[in-house]
């Protein structure tokens, strides 16, 4: 019996360390690495300083930061979505089910002495029942004991046998009980992920406050290192893995103890074999699967709202920045084209001045008349050529088109704002979120909606 138990424990321990524990370690590690990337973005931005004259440079840097942050946030939260109900422990389920195919359906052994004699931790009722069982056993052995009085070779007799449903018991504890108990660790890991992620979101929100202040006032954009103070309390990756691994190990070891204890008691009055019937085992496994699937769904809801909320902040600022950058591009283009137009106008003015000069300097009527006559002859030549050239250059600047294009682009940027975002009625991102707590809004509709006049 001890050898069988040891073999089961050894095999399942391997499956636990190779297929189950990595599920949690990988999620913690992925989250930690993503947060480090976000921290790097934020530290890089906060280290910069911009004067008010460098507003365009500042907005370009801020827009780049928001784009990269949005990519990290979206990619990470999408990674938490599971494609089906059992995806969280898929590899483990496959491995344990494969192992169960090699386990004996049933084993028969002699019951231990403890199944007949009271132990310190036994309840009063169990002690009484063991007394009855012991009496019945002793009564059943009276014929053998009596016959042994007349035998030269005494007949050995031991305690009654027990039939242990080994396969079903193994399936019950390591396909259901263990996974069911791990739901507490699932909550702990996901809550930790939310709480730590919130700290980086809070830093981003403080950065937003500084941006708004910079745009509204004639002051420099100078981020304070105090923005990053919230990161000091975040545990290291090693610490997080160690803490959660310890919780997992305690649950696993407790399951092993319950499993081992059950094998010694299964098929006796202390633990009926019916406790591991096919119906009981399958029923408990289905119940556990439903529980874990529901928990995953509720946490997925939480992260969906979290993702939506943070992305909306990023989206609004990126729209603002994009419109500002396009405005400055138009402003530069207008300045360049205005300079070109001014050059053409100046050429016309210069020509007019060159005509006015000989007329103004003429002293005799005949000289004035001659100058006017000469210039009239040149109108269809040089001056007309200058006017036509200037008209063509000015027309080619397409100033109305440039302005209209900017307006159209600005409208397109606004129209690109999302039309569906999830929001929660409780806004608690450190707890599972029920479907009933989720509502949806259209940020686009909220922005373009015109207020009603009284």
For the cut 90, the answer to whether the pLDDT of residue 66 exceeds it is yes
Q: How confident is the model at residue 254 (pLDDT cuts 50, 70, 90)?
A: very high
DSSP of 244-262, one letter per residue? HHHHHHHHHHHHHHHHHHH
Q: How confident is the model at residue 116 (pLDDT cuts 50, 70, 90)?
A: low
Share of the chain above pLDDT 70, in %: 74
What is the pLDDT averaged over residues 424-449? Answer: 77
Strands (E), 266-311: none
Same domain, 268 and 298: yes
Same domain, 7 and 105: yes
Tokens of 264: 């010694």
Same domain, 135 and 54: no
Report d(CA 435, CA 424) in Å as an integer: 9
Residue 324 resides in a domain:
no
Q: How confident is the model at residue 281 (pLDDT cuts 50, 70, 90)?
A: very high
Mean pLDDT of the chain: 81
Residue 59 resides in a domain:
yes
Report d(CA 223, CA 206) in Å as an integer: 9
Of 268, 291, 307, which residue is a domain's last? Answer: 307
In Å, how far from its chain's centre is CA 184? 20
Residue 127 resides in a domain:
yes
pLDDT tens per residue across span 70-112: 999 999 998 887 554 446 788 899 999 999 999 888 888 777 7
Same domain, 44 and 171: yes
Residue 237 resides in a domain:
yes
Same domain, 103 and 34: yes
C-beta separation of 121 from 192 below 8 A: no
Q: pTM of the entire structure?
A: 0.77
Which residues form the domain of 141?
116-159
Same domain, 277 and 248: yes
Same domain, 290 and 351: no
* Predicted pLDDT at 453: 44
Q: How many domains does the chain have?
A: 3
Q: Which of 8-17, 150-159, 386-395, 434-443 has the weakest average pLDDT?
A: 150-159
CA distances from 327 to 56, 59, 335 (A): 10, 12, 12
Same domain, 149 and 76: no
Report d(CA 325, CA 431) in Å as an integer: 40
Residue 321 resides in a domain:
no
Of 124, 159, 194, which residue is a domain's last? Answer: 159
Residue 73 resides in a domain:
yes
What is the pLDDT averaged over residues 343-370? Answer: 66
* Predicted pLDDT at 446: 66
Of 142, 159, 176, which residue is a domain's last? Answer: 159
* Predicted pLDDT at 451: 47
Residue 39 resides in a domain:
yes
pLDDT tens per residue across span 6-41: 888 899 999 999 999 999 999 999 999 999 999 999
Residue 26 resides in a domain:
yes
Residue with tokens 């202040």: 213
Same domain, 66 and 213: yes
pLDDT tens per residue across span 202-247: 999 999 999 888 888 888 898 888 888 888 889 999 999 999 999 9
What is the pLDDT averaged over residues 278-304? Answer: 91
Same domain, 183 and 141: no
Report long-range pairs for 366-375 (Cβ below 8 Å, ≥24 apart).
Answer: none
pLDDT tens per residue across span 301-353: 899 889 888 988 888 888 888 888 887 777 777 777 777 777 767 776 776 66
Same domain, 73 and 199: yes
Same domain, 18 and 123: no
């Amino acid at each position: 019996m001890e050898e069988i138990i040891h073999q089961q424990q050894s095999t399942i321990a391997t499956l636990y360390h190779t297929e189950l524990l990595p599920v949690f370690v990988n999620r913690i590690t992925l989250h930690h690495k993503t947060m480090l990337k976000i921290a790097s973005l934020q530290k890089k931005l906060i280290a910069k300083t911009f004067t008010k004259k460098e507003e365009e440079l500042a907005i370009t840097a801020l827009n780049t930061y928001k784009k990269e942050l949005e990519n990290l946030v979206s990619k990470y939260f999408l990674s938490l979505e599971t494609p089906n109900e059992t995806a969280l422990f898929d590899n483990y389920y496959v491995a344990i089910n494969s192992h169960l195919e090699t386990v004996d359906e049933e084993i028969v052994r002699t019951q231990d002495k403890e199944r007949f004699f009271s132990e310190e931790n036994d309840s009063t009722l169990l002690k009484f029942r063991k007394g009855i069982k012991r009496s019945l056993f002793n009564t059943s052995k009276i014929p053998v004991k009596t016959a042994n009085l007349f035998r030269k070779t005494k007949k050995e007799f031991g305690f009654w046998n027990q039939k242990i449903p080994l396969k079903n018991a193994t399936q019950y504890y390591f396909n259901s009980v263990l996974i069911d108990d791990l739901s507490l660790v699932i909550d702990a890991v996901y809550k930790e992920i939310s709480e730590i992620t919130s700290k980086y979101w809070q830093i981003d929100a403080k950065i937003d406050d500084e941006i708004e202040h910079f745009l509204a006032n004639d002051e420099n954009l100078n981020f304070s290192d105090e923005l990053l103070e919230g990161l000091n309390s975040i545990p290291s990756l090693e610490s997080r893995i160690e803490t959660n691994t310890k919780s997992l190990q305690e649950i696993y070891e407790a399951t092993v103890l319950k499993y081992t204890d059950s094998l010694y008691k299964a098929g006796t009055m202390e633990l009926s074999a019916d406790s591991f019937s096919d119906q009981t085992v399958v029923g408990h496994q289905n119940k556990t699967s439903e529980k874990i699937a529901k928990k995953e769904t509720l946490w997925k809801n939480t992260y969906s709202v979290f993702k939506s909320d943070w992305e909306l902040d990023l989206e609004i600022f990126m729209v603002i920045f994009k419109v500002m950058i396009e405005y400055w591009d138009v402003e530069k283009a207008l300045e360049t084209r205005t300079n070109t137009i001014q050059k053409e106008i100046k050429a016309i003015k210069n020509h007019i001045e060159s005509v006015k000069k000989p007329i103004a300097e003429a002293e005799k009527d005949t000289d004035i008349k001659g100058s006017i006559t000469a210039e009239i002859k040149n109108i269809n030549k040089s001056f007309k050529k200058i006017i036509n050239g200037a008209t063509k250059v000015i027309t080619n600047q397409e100033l109305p088109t440039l302005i209209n294009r900017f307006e159209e682009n600005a409208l397109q940027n606004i129209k690109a704002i999302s039309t569906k975002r999830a929001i929660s009625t409780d806004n608690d991102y450190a707890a599972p979120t029920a479907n009933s707590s989720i509502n949806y809004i259209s940020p686009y509709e909220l922005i373009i909606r015109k207020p009603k006049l009284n």
